[in-house]
Structure 1
């Protein structure tokens, strides 16, 4: 038993680590320093150079890198192929120019400090690769991810991710004896990477949507989540096997699913894992900071950090201005991207393996990268504090998110929802639909409507579908409990958006009114009135009489509903009896047995 307990998970370490993050992150965010710096600080305190809670941060870092992978997948879900194609000039123009200029500037730092040109080139190139995790997290927290200035940064990060393959080939070429190695190996590596991308695109084009359609039809919610994780990790593994980064594989998988009807469900399923693992990644980075190396080599490390940040900032600013960015945007981009990134660890590991740098040099370069990561949130805080003019948000360049602005969100595309949608489509309103029925999703897709697979009673699905941007929310599901739950969530989370709901019966209508819907109607009420009106017409009643009867019935029904809402049961029963002819109503009142009142009340609630 003792052996089993010793081999079990270290719960004390897990609790201590989570407690440090729970304390540090809110404190740093309250101070305006952001969550990233809070995670880094908590990791540093809990790591082997702090309180020794975690002794092997490298093992945690490998697991936590999945957070970056999942984050890139979610970013990919927001990048439809046509949108990504529109960014091609920024990716291969702006991104390539920044990488090449920063490589040229940073390579001379190592030469000035007495290192060889090959070693200096690899060291400087590693610092050129910006931290995707930190920059994306900060863009997300600042609400800049969908702004044009945020999209420029995303384009540069994509180019840097793509650049990891030729940069690894460069390391192999610069290695001792690497120049004598034939070009066939490098050509094979490039072909392998391109083949992995082509295979992923083919799988995404022909397999992913049928896969999720089958899981939605025959599997459960947990199977959908497992399928989403399978696609993300499988794509990452495929591109990693092809010599590319795992993050790039996850990003491409997200892009391929960005136009899928299952997009919002996938995003909602992945989000909890992404947030937890990304926070774990920042914790592991903080733990990996080797304070003993810094203590021994602090003059060289601090000098290199300062020179790298200054020269990279110069390169970023010059390229930004050359591509017609305004001074405030260029300055903000410089502060955001002036650090090294997690892909530098991969590059330095390859350089260590081929003998371009030694173990101590690798530790120093790793410390330089981590220090630059830690300084980035501080630099951004100072930028926002003292460069208020540069940091001010320009709403004129705000790009509308992929939501439902000037559109109607319809939840449930069954018989009722289809008829209701025809009225709106006739007047030219665009409709976005949430449903879990794959057949209905296919029908709506054929009609050109934007359809999302998901449960409308989940808040994360509503947020992901952009319910806060909708002009109106129409709840047309056929299950009363689900409709009431959706109404409660929508009125609580989106109080300014009108909510209209389909009611099953009178009791359900009362529940919807209590939930705060702006309008509800019982699904058979108007059709039954029309049916009765046609019967009166066939019986020879005058049209004006028929119309008057309809108005009287509608008024009595509304009064009865109001009375029941007020809890006046007697009034509700009297209004029900008032529908009867005089002689039948008087007879019912005179001879009603004791149980008739309850029976009449039950009829009242079901009609």
Structure 2
């Protein structure tokens, strides 16, 4: 009589945990975690050691052959990633990004898809096949790019927001693209317009229902679970909200990642956002690792070795083409050169939705299996190159840093789009010191200086400085005061500083105000007026003010002390 109990997928789970807990951390000494999971996946997958499993039985112990099951589980990683990103945003902040999401994002999909489709058609593919190839290759990898931006703390930068805006629009576009594949496959073109309209209507209705029910029910539900004082229950309800909302959008034909993102946005409006983020983080990390593992497992290196020149040139050509188109579009949307270059290169790869579109195209008979396998390998290789593209994007941003001042149109565009930033009122010695610290910590800011010479010199150096009187409330409002996360007053006039602090406190009661003071008595008066923090003038005072500001932004204490020490050493030289 057998006494053992069979647990489904136990061996596969153990192989994955060994990879995630032992192998990938070792590889992280030389490679990024994303690249580590890719390489491990290609090694333990059906096209790696799996090819030897039948000849050498012990090898089969370390191989995962159920690629479909791993991919399905890996999609949970994308769900949790978009859920966490939603927690970082809010509907209000998302609305401020609408110009980039629906404008630049739509243009990127349409222009890139049309160019790739034209090339595929000229290469001898049928029109329907060319359209599908253009649509799926226009998309980029939401999972990998956003993971790199989050890990690098760059999601809140101007380039990070532009990149995420395009990726969000690509997620929204998956629905009409999949519908187009179904229409082209059935050739029911006479009903295409009606079906397309119904698909979009169903998508809009689903999002509206999720939003309405979430605003109505989510906060009371989280309060009820929190009162039970059970962390396990709170983790369970957090996972349920993320996965459940993703499932609803999935059943409605939408992207499951979009549903998870909506769930994160809804929770971001509640007081539980930080606790939910902490609880969900381990799930996100492990499931994302499984997703990257599944992508690596899907690459058949035998095909790559059979046609190395054609495949590698196709992958490089796709990246180069997308980078060129993205760069031109970002410039057309008036992004600064260095930001346009960074965004363009970051989005140079194909994405995980390409696997979905290609798979459906094979099912409906639009793509032959050999073409599909070729495209899947190209998609996988470009995704594999994303960590390298990330490094190249940051290098290009530094190389493209402008040496001349931005045009008035460019400055207006940046000011209109920015939110969650720090306003530095005054760009003299103190203001410039604080701005330098913020720059090095990638904290967005906008400085206002009334001296035309100082403002022009800062603009020529590529600094985000606008000419204007920082002591005037209307000037601050034009610089996004209502969307700012903090105000630093560095102007030298004592009376003007007090008047501005008093007016800002009346206009924006919750806005943190960090002020430069002439002496201790002036600092005390500013605190009484409503300033959050005030320090007497001197360079040491500006460094202390910058230190407090960084701490208020949640920067690691060790990083703060090292940064301030470096700035202090620079002043002593």
- Same topology, TM > 0.5: yes
- The match for 1:96 among 103, 106, 129 is 106
Q: Which ranges in structure 2 are unaligned for 5 or more consecutive residues?
A: 51-62, 403-437, 446-482, 489-504, 513-547, 563-573
Aligned alpha-carbon RMSD (Å): 3.4
Equivalence for 1:30: 29
Please give the residue correspondences for 1:215-234 in structure 2 after superposition, counting only pairs within 5 Å: 215-218=225-228, 220-234=230-244
> Is 1:373 aligned to 2:383, yes or no?
yes
Structure 1 pair 469–296 and aligned structure 2 pair: CA distance change class (3 A): same
TM-score, normalised to structure 1, is: 0.64
Equivalence for 2:215: 205
Q: Is the 8 A contact 1:122 1:171 kept in 2?
A: yes
Separation in 2, partners of 1:13, 1:241: 28
Equivalence for 2:298: 288
> Is 1:20 aligned to 2:8, yes or no?
no
Separation in 2, partners of 1:48, 1:19: 17
Structure 1 pair 2–300 and aligned structure 2 pair: CA distance change class (3 A): farther
Separation in 2, partners of 1:81, 1:229: 21
Separation in 2, partners of 1:368, 1:242: 30
Structure 1 pair 279–468 and aligned structure 2 pair: CA distance change class (3 A): farther
Separation in 2, partners of 1:307, 1:492: 43
Separation in 2, partners of 1:259, 1:386: 36
Please give the residue correspondences for 1:162-561 in structure 2 after superposition, counting only pairs within 5 Å: 162-181=172-191, 183-218=193-228, 220-382=230-392, 384=394, 389-390=399-400, 395=440, 398-399=443-444, 469-470=551-552
Equivalence for 1:82: 92
Separation in 2, partners of 1:255, 1:27: 35
Separation in 2, partners of 1:16, 1:168: 34
Structure 1 pair 298–110 and aligned structure 2 pair: CA distance change class (3 A): farther
Instruction: Give a deviation string over 1:549-572, Cα, whole Å, max 9, x none.
Output: xxxxxxxxxxxxxxxxxxxxxxxx
Q: Is the 8 A contact 2:83 2:263 kept in 1?
A: yes
Structure 1 pair 228–47 and aligned structure 2 pair: CA distance change class (3 A): same
DSSP-derived class of the 2:325 partner: helix
Cα deviation for residue 4 of structure 1 reads: 4.1
Separation in 1, partners of 2:553, 2:334: 36
Separation in 2, partners of 1:216, 1:249: 24
Q: Is the 8 A contact 2:158 2:339 kept in 1?
A: no
Structure 1 pair 404–269 and aligned structure 2 pair: CA distance change class (3 A): farther
Structure 1 pair 492–221 and aligned structure 2 pair: CA distance change class (3 A): farther
Structure 1 pair 338–495 and aligned structure 2 pair: CA distance change class (3 A): closer
Separation in 1, partners of 2:167, 2:560: 34
Q: Which moved more, 1:68-77 or 1:173-182?
A: 173-182
Separation in 2, partners of 1:162, 1:386: 29
Q: Is the 8 A contact 2:171 2:258 kept in 1?
A: yes
Cα deviation for residue 431 of structure 1 reads: 10
- The number of equivalent residue pairs is 425
Cα deviation for residue 356 of structure 1 reads: 0.8
Equivalence for 1:600: none
Separation in 1, partners of 2:240, 2:27: 35
TM-score, normalised to structure 2, is: 0.67
Cα deviation for residue 291 of structure 1 reads: 2.1
Structure 1 pair 250–23 and aligned structure 2 pair: CA distance change class (3 A): same
Separation in 2, partners of 1:154, 1:170: 24
Structure 1 pair 262–467 and aligned structure 2 pair: CA distance change class (3 A): farther
Q: Is the 8 A contact 1:405 1:471 kept in 2?
A: no
Structure 1 pair 13–238 and aligned structure 2 pair: CA distance change class (3 A): closer
Cα deviation for residue 242 of structure 1 reads: 1.4
Separation in 2, partners of 1:431, 1:380: 34
Q: Is the 8 A contact 2:551 2:560 kept in 1?
A: no
> Is 1:108 aligned to 2:118, yes or no?
yes
Cα deviation for residue 143 of structure 1 reads: 1.7
Cα deviation for residue 228 of structure 1 reads: 0.8
Separation in 2, partners of 1:183, 1:431: 49
Instruction: Give a deviation string over 1:254-299, Cα, whole Å, max 9, x none.
Output: 1112120111111111111111111111111111112233344444
Q: Is the 8 A contact 1:27 1:38 kept in 2?
A: no
- Greater gyration radius: 1
Structure 1 pair 174–154 and aligned structure 2 pair: CA distance change class (3 A): same
Separation in 1, partners of 2:394, 2:332: 24
